[in-house]
Structures are given as C-alpha cells and as structure tokens.
Structure 1
C-alpha cells in the first residue's frame, strides 16, 4: 500500500491537462453549494428584483420625452422623475443585501472547504508529507481555495444576474418594437464565438501562475523559518536567497499580468461592436420616426436598454473564461482530495482499550516507493514491560520500524500485532493513544509551556502538570522563568535549550501515560549535564512500560532486555549485550567502533 502512494502523488503536469466541463465535476462542485440552497434562492429573488427595477429608468425616460414634455405637464414630469429616482435607490439597496448574501455564501463555502481539506490532510500518512512540499500544501490550502470563492461571488452570481437582466430586457424590447429588437440581436454572436479559445489560454496561465506561487510559498517557508533563516545567515546566502526569491516573484507577477490581459484584443473588438449597436438603432429608429411609426422617446429608451442587453451578453461570454479558470483551481484542490488516505480505519475496526504492551512483527516488509524497499521480512516479539534496543548504522530502517507501530506508515507486507490484535484491525485513534514517542529532535509549538504540555493531555490538572514536570526534572527550571508555565517558547521552542525542550517533551509524554513507549535516543545530541537530567527523567517514564529505543548510547544498550541489530533493512542479530559480544559479527563491530570508546569513560 505504501508503495502505491508515490504514483498518486505524481500528478500529470497541469498544463498538459485540459479542463473539461463534465457532469461529474459540476456535481462535485455543486455539493459545496447544496447546504446553502435557501440563501441561494433568496439571492436569485433579489437578483430578479434588481433586474426588474433596472428597467424603470429607461421606461420613465421614454415617458418623460413622449408624455410629460409634449403635454407640458409638471405633475407627470415630477412623477416620472420620482419613479426613476425611487427605483434606482431601491435597486441599490436591494443590491447591497444581495451582495451581502453572495459574500456570506462564498465565505462559508471556503470555510467548509478549508475545514474538509485540513481534516483530509490530517489523515494523510507520513509518506504524503515526506513527498510533498510545504509550500505546495500551503498554496492549495490558502490561495487555491480562496481563489475559487469567485466562482460563486462573481461567476455564478454574474451569470444568474446576466440571464435575468437579459430576459427582462428582451421582454421589454419586444414589447416596445419587435423589429427593432431583432436588429439589436444581430451582433450578439460576435460576443460569444471567440470565448473558448480565450478561456483555454487563461486557464493555462492560471495553472502556471499557481505553480509558481507554490514555489514562492515554498521558498518563503524554507528561508524565513527559524531553522532556514539561521542556516542562511551562517552560510551567508542572503543574496542568493534574495535573487531566487526575486526571480520567482517576478515570474508570478508576469503570469498574473498575462492572465489579466489575456484576450484583450477580443474584449477590444467587443467594445467596438457595443458602440455599433446603438448606431444601428439610431439609423433604423430614425427612419421609423421620419415615417411617424416610432417616437423619439422609444428610440432613446431602446438605446438605453441596449446597454442592459449587451452588458449581460458580454458578461455571459466571459463566464466561460471565468469558469475555466475556477475549474483549474478546483482541479488542483480535487487532486489533493483524490489522494487516498493510506492509513484509515476499517469499517469493523475495534477500539484498543487497555493493553499489556506485547508487540509482534511477523514477516514485515516496507517500501516508501515501489522501487525503494526499506525493510525485508522483519520478525521479532517484545514482551510487555521490557525494553528493546534497535542498533545499526544510519539508514538501515530503525526509525521506519518504530514509525510502523503507530501506523504513521502502513506495512507493505506482513503484520504488526499488539496483544494479538493486528494494528490494521483497530482504530487509529485508540492505537495511537497507547503509544508515546520521544523524538531525537523534540517539536514544540510557538505557544506557552503549559499549552505544549497539555498537548499530551488536555484534561490534566495543574497538579498533574507539575508532577509530570517534576518527574522530567524540568519544573524548577520552569519556575525560574518570569512567566513560569505561561512562558511562550517561540517557534519550535527556539527560546529553550535542547535539553530543556527534550525534558518538556518527556513531561508531555508522561502526561499522556502510554503503555508503549518509543524513544529515538533522546540524549545523543545533548551535553553531559542535559543528558544526566534526561536519563533521570526517563526512569519514571520507562517504568512498567513496553519500550523500543533507537540506541546511540552504550548505557541504553546495557539496560535493554533485547537488542535487535539491523543491516540493510534486515535483522541480522538479536540478543542481550554480552551474548552478542560473544557471538561476534556486526554487533561487535558496532560496539568496537561506536560504543567501546564510550565504555572507557564508564
């Protein structure tokens, strides 16, 4: 299963794919609008009211010219003017309400989509995050999703508004003079025919623009994070990083400009024909006026209504362009939604309640990709309450073994059992509740010490919090800080030393109180004083728990109940320290090169 993920991540280049407006994708998009159908109906009603009220000024203008002025009636003149002003004011008031509803719906669609995307990405395996660029994830979660709000706020609303305006205008035009109305429609095909080519061109630019934006976000995250900024300064790469940022930023801007100007000749041509329409009306209308078959008021009203005819047709002709761009963004988002969750609960998955902590690996193989096999036929058992150490050179699969237990990755072959239960048959949440992990590089959020500790147990009392920190030998240090447990630790805990971060992470695991403990040797990169504190902190943490330790220190190996020696993704030796020394082989070589020197100081 793990090997299949790489194939799903290898999306085809977006520029090579053509957006096709199919029934399936429209239904998929529609599901995001479905919860707001009541608000959408209200928006349509308001659009219809706006369209009808928009007819009043041209009609009142006709009446002013043909009735009020010839009859020299001040009363009629005032009435027609007041009707025109009243309709305009009411139209604008209704438009404000309609715009509010449009914005409300679009923002809630974005809200729901972001929530759905975040939840979906939460359930991706570590394989997904190791193969994805953080900048790409950020772009799809933010600018891509936010970009599609226009599909409702402008595209769909404009389409509905244009259709209603067009329909009401056509009724009014035919009611006034059906021959003049037909002349008005002569140039309408000019607005429609070229739109597909323009839309396809804008879609391609939009996809390129989003790709470059992802690169820009990636660069920002890598070079302006605390670790990246430190590295950049140490190696004096500020100028190189700026040049790279400037170059990528320029590509983004140029593409966005190209997208904005796409089809400018097409739109210019439409503007020319928009001017031609009224001239045809004046020509034919003038002729009808000369033979006493049409009034001046009707001619003026017809010309005024032409804007209400051509403007919605122009907008409708642009709808295809806007839709294809929106669909391009939808496609990028759906690409992420279509990545299957590698680790998911079975329909009949059971809850793993209280466990003893017996672990069994049976014929386990694993590959990050199909052509990258990491583990081969791993078999071992761990009894409850014992410590097992994993040793071997870097890159032989030790960390991968520990990641398979909480199903951060899924095994390619074989099975892993806890107390006889296959880990794939139990719910992920109940499985991971039983497991605590202390990583070699602890991760702390940019929040208070208390908030970071409560990540291990939200319901922990203040007394339990303090007891856990005392057990981890970090309480006295926390109390020496100005804000005590309310101290903000900074990005990734930058305000704390490595040993302090590690002891807080140990206290966090103590609060979680797991039955199974995984340690990616927590002291390998620390000074001797910090190591001493960590070793003391680990004593209460290890007590009564099943523990698996990736060993870098001799002290860890000496206290282990069993040692597994890894080479090239296989277990080549197992046993206790003295047994393995007497056996010779790889373990003795590792001991002589990695541990014997340390032994001289013990």
Structure 2
C-alpha cells in the first residue's frame, strides 16, 4: 500500500529496468518491461518520453478525494443514445408496467368485496366469482411480469453488446502510446465488468423507477378514493424514506469507484501471473508464495470494499423496515376507530393494509433509485474515460487506398519524439529504392525500431513526412498502408491455436497449397509434417510448444503468405542458436526477394550484404553507405565492426 499523500503512475512498472514497447501482446503484461511490436529495447529514458503523452501516465493520488460524477445534459444525452435504438421495445415495456400496476390493484379490492359483501350475504356464487377473478388476475399478472422481465433483459443485454463492440473497436484503433501505459487488467475490467454493470440501469433502475411511480400514483388514488383520512395516516411516514438517500448514495458511489479500481488491479495480477511467461518467471524465481500473498492482499481489499458497499445505508434500510412494519399497525388503530364510528368497513381496513404494501414498496425502491443511479453514473464515467481517449492515428477524411506499389520509401526531414522535452529522431532523411535491402545498425535505444515503427504509422511523425512511392503515408488509409508491410519480430507472437490458423492470420482465405508453399519457403514444412496433427497442431499459449527457431519460421511463413511489398526485420535471429539462425537466413531469401526491406541487427554478420547501411546515433543518421564504403570511412561503423570481429 502507498503511504498517505503518495502517488503512482497508472503504467507498467519501471524500477530502472529497460523497457520495451509491446503491451500490444496481452500475455506479456507480466513482465516489468513492455515488449514491443518489434521487440526493440528503448530504455528507461525513451519510455519516460512516452508516458507523458495524452491518455497515458495519469497520476492518481492515494489520498485523493473522489468526486461525484457531474450530471449534465450532454452526459444524459450520451447515455440515452445507447437506449434509443431499442425505444420501441422500451415503450412496450412501459405499457406492460402500466397494465401490471393497474391489475395489481384488483386483488385487494376483491378482498374488500369478499369480506364486506360475499361473506356477510353468504352468497357462494358471488364468492366463487370473486375468487376466480382474483386467481385469473394473479395468473395474468405473472405472465405479464415474465414478458416484462424478458424484454427488459433483452434490451439491457443488447445495449451491453453494442457498448462492448464500440469499446473493442475503439481500443483497436488506439496508438501504441496508449498500450505502453495502460494496464491490461484495467482494460479487461472496463470492457467486461464495468460495461456488464450498466445492464442494471435499464433492467433494474429504470424499470423499477417507472414501476414504482406508476404503482405509487395508482395506489394513492385508490386509497384516497376509499378513505382520505386513512390514506393520510398511511402516507404520513413516507418522507422518512427519502431524507437520507443523498448521503447514502454519495458514500456508496465512492466505495463502488474504489472497488472497481481494485478489481482492475486484481485482474492485472491474474493476467500477469497466469500468462505462460508469467508462470515460467514465477517458477524459475520461486516466487509462488510472494505472488499468492500479493493476490490475497488485493483480493482481501476487493472483498472488504464490496462488503462495505453492501452495508452502506444499513441503518437507513433498518429504519425503513421499521416504519413499514409500523404502518399497518397505525391503519389498524385508526381504522378501528373509524370502524367503531361507522365510517369504514372491516373489508376496507384489510384492503387498506394490503394496498399499503404497494404504497411503501415503491417509495422504498424510489429512495434507492438515487443510489443506483449514482453507481451507474460511476460506471458510465469510467467507460467514457476510455471512449474519450483520443485516437492519435487515424485516416483523414480524404484518405485514399494504397493499392499496388513498387516499394520506394522516403524519409524527408523527419522529427519524432514521445513528448516535447526529449527528441528521439531528428532530421532523418533518406530514400530507399524498390527492392533494396537496408540495414539499420547502432547501439540500443538510438531510434532504430522507432524508424521502422513510423513506416506503418504505429506512431505519427512530429515534423516532416514519410512517403511510399512518393505518396505521403498520412494521405492513404491505414489498412491499405499496413497491408503492404510485413514485420518479423524478434519474439514472434503465435495465438494458442493451430498452425493453420496462425498462418491464415497473414491471409484469411489462403488455400492449403498456398500455406504449404509458404512454409516450404520458410523451411518449416518438413517439421510441421512430423507433428501428430500436421497443420492442425495446436501450438500452445504464445507458441510455447514450438522452439524459438520454429516459431520464427512459422512467423516468416505467415509474412510470406501475406505477400507484402515492404518487409521489416527486427533482430529476427538475435536470440536463436546457430542452426536455427541458418534456417532463418535461408527462409529470408524468398521473403526478401524483390521486396524493399529494412533489417535491424546488432550482429553485423547478418547485414553485410545489405544494399545500404544506415548507422544511427542519438536519433540521427550518423553514416550511410555499403559495408565496404563504411569500413573505409573509419567512423562509427568501423568501430562497431572492429569490436565484433576483432580476433576472428
């Protein structure tokens, strides 16, 4: 727990370790680093640049006073927009509620007639009819309540369906900046439990409010028409139900907000602990007890908050229950007095008591509506916080499709930074002709991966432009741009599915023959055929059942199947053994053939054959040329070369 007055970042932990960019991959959230799309280590300084951008790095103070949501016309209109498509069904629900409220008055009135007329007159026919009508009314009421409940659930579930689809689509379009700081556990909470909690707004809150109002009005009218004096006695205690509701609602909202945040933390722990990488890390460092202790503490905090939320207003509810019990006694007392005076019948007194429950229950529910509305607004506020996150990278209104391209790539005076304080890239200019192989070399954190991430617009340049075939990439649609680009990451990501489905991620409708040809080109087909289910083999979580080299070759086959004109290879062989590296290098031959390629490598042996080599230093192109040309310059490249090949 943080001490009072301290604060913490809603972002992955740093603790001085290198950070990577790829909270893109949910299973990697257990790392204290963020694994990037290309696996490039950015270092703490670079990450610090990113966490101050819009939508990330938000400070939350441990002793911060939680503010009640401000209800505005704009917010209410936004909430109602989700209900508007179901308006016809909502009107039908309202109609059923009115009918139920009116029919609910019938049984007490029938009881009055049974006691005052049928029994004193010893009229069995009248008694039979009154009982039959009462039974029939009860059956009809039950059927209508079932219909109303079904429609209410249907409406609320479809509202949730649309909201989850909207949230998922919105999050898919967020830039990498959002995912480098957002907790996967919190994202899961917002898109699941937060939105699921919304269903109570219609299914319970709105329906109960409408039902209570209709029942309250209709019951009050009947009571007053029967005996206005007795009606006043029955209704005189109603104000005591309403007075404490605002205070109770505010307290419940605060607890509910903290509860949802703790649930996010709990989801984060579960997400981190039970990913395949998290499980391995825990077992290797024998941290099972520590992780269990952390889970138990957070789980205990969640339960404590939920218990507090459930108990909020318990004295208030006890008071209401007491007055509900006192009400009938007052009716019997004053009603008995009126009966002795001959102003009312016994049947009327009994009907009054029966109707009194219909009077008190709606008021009790209405007194809690304020609490339920405040809690629902808290959930809407959390949801809107995410939906209002700015999508930094999106298609312009006049964006056109990038169809068949040759593969020319140009950087023209490109500047980029994660914030305004620290520059990552500065005045990057170069041009790569179609089919050329370009290598980016330099020490870690100098901006090599950032350069390649700018090509598919995973980030947006601050100044300058990037062009493909002389067309600014900001003028074309993101989908058509990224369809032309294939990326082979240092640590390839495979879904917990079959090899076939992982391959089809590169081309949805690929034929079996196309997959086989791609896998043969990637030198992985023969291995796949040795597996029990061949292409139908499940690879496990993140491809755990395959070796590093096998996963890499499957990912290369996937890119080959996609058939992009531009290829980005980010340390694709750096973590492999020599045999696997040999296979990968063979697989790269058909992958790179005829395509423009950008290769990031620390080991110069993998880039000696590049058509052009860019040496990156402090976010700038320090040197460029072929391998032989750069050796003659006796500059930074020569230093790197001598370091790696000295004595060999």
Q: TM-score, normalised by structure 2?
A: 0.90
Following the alignment from structure 1 to structure 2, what is the Cα–Cα distance between the partners of residues 330 and 69?
56
Q: Which residue does the alignment assign to 2:303?
A: 253
Following the alignment from structure 2 to structure 1, what is the Cα–Cα distance between the partners of residues 308 and 282?
33
Following the alignment from structure 2 to structure 1, what is the Cα–Cα distance between the partners of residues 232 and 132?
32
The answer to whether residue 382 in structure 2 is matched with residue 321 in structure 1 is: no
Match of 1:499 among 535, 545, 549: 549
Alignment of 1:85-484 (within 5 A): 85-484=135-534
Following the alignment from structure 1 to structure 2, what is the Cα–Cα distance between the partners of residues 425 and 381?
19
Following the alignment from structure 2 to structure 1, what is the Cα–Cα distance between the partners of residues 219 and 642?
91
The answer to whether residue 66 in structure 2 is matched with residue 16 in structure 1 is: yes
Contact kept, 8 Å, 1:3 with 1:370, in 2: the verdict is: no
Following the alignment from structure 2 to structure 1, what is the Cα–Cα distance between the partners of residues 584 and 55?
42
Q: Which residue does the alignment assign to 2:54?
A: 7
Following the alignment from structure 2 to structure 1, what is the Cα–Cα distance between the partners of residues 604 and 637?
12
Match of 1:513 among 563, 566, 571: 563
SS at match of 2:607: helix
List per-residue Cα deviations over 1:446-467 (Å, max 9, x = no partner). Answer: 1100000011001211111111
Aligned residues: 597
SS at match of 1:365: strand
List per-residue Cα deviations over 1:273-319 (Å, max 9, x = no partner). Answer: 22232233223222211111111111111111111011011101100
Following the alignment from structure 1 to structure 2, what is the Cα–Cα distance between the partners of residues 50 and 381?
75
1:4 positional shift: 9.7
1:368 positional shift: 2.2
Q: Which residue does the alignment assign to 2:90?
A: 40
1:184 positional shift: 2.4
Following the alignment from structure 2 to structure 1, what is the Cα–Cα distance between the partners of residues 83 and 107?
34
1:90 positional shift: 1.4
Deviates more, 1:402-411 or 1:573-582: 573-582
Deviates more, 1:563-572 or 1:363-372: 363-372
List per-residue Cα deviations over 1:34-53 (Å, max 9, x = no partner). Answer: 11111111111111122122
Q: CA RMSD in A?
A: 1.5
Following the alignment from structure 1 to structure 2, what is the Cα–Cα distance between the partners of residues 19 and 112?
23
Following the alignment from structure 2 to structure 1, what is the Cα–Cα distance between the partners of residues 218 and 89?
23
SS at match of 1:591: helix
1:62 positional shift: 0.7
Match of 2:614 among 541, 564, 587: 564
1:554 positional shift: 2.3
Following the alignment from structure 2 to structure 1, what is the Cα–Cα distance between the partners of residues 418 and 204?
44
Q: Which residue does the alignment assign to 2:116?
A: 66
1:371 positional shift: 3.5
The answer to whether residue 126 in structure 2 is matched with residue 76 in structure 1 is: yes
1:110 positional shift: 0.8
Following the alignment from structure 1 to structure 2, what is the Cα–Cα distance between the partners of residues 123 and 535?
34
SS at match of 1:69: helix
Following the alignment from structure 1 to structure 2, what is the Cα–Cα distance between the partners of residues 15 and 100?
40
Alignment of 1:578-597 (within 5 A): 578-593=628-643, 595-597=644-646
Contact kept, 8 Å, 2:51 with 2:57, in 1: the verdict is: no
The runs of at least 4 aligned residues of structure 1 exceeding 6 Å deviation read 2-5
SS at match of 1:381: strand
1:12 positional shift: 6.8
SS at match of 1:340: coil
Following the alignment from structure 1 to structure 2, what is the Cα–Cα distance between the partners of residues 3 and 220?
26
1:11 positional shift: 5.0
Following the alignment from structure 1 to structure 2, what is the Cα–Cα distance between the partners of residues 516 and 403?
13
Higher helix share: 1
Contact kept, 8 Å, 1:289 with 1:295, in 2: the verdict is: yes
Deviates more, 1:186-195 or 1:370-379: 370-379
Contact kept, 8 Å, 1:472 with 1:507, in 2: the verdict is: yes
SS at match of 1:65: helix
Following the alignment from structure 1 to structure 2, what is the Cα–Cα distance between the partners of residues 206 and 554?
56
Following the alignment from structure 2 to structure 1, what is the Cα–Cα distance between the partners of residues 56 and 227?
61
SS at match of 1:519: strand
List per-residue Cα deviations over 1:344-374 (Å, max 9, x = no partner). Answer: 1000001111111111112222222344432
Alignment of 1:43-58 (within 5 A): 43-58=93-108
SS at match of 2:120: coil
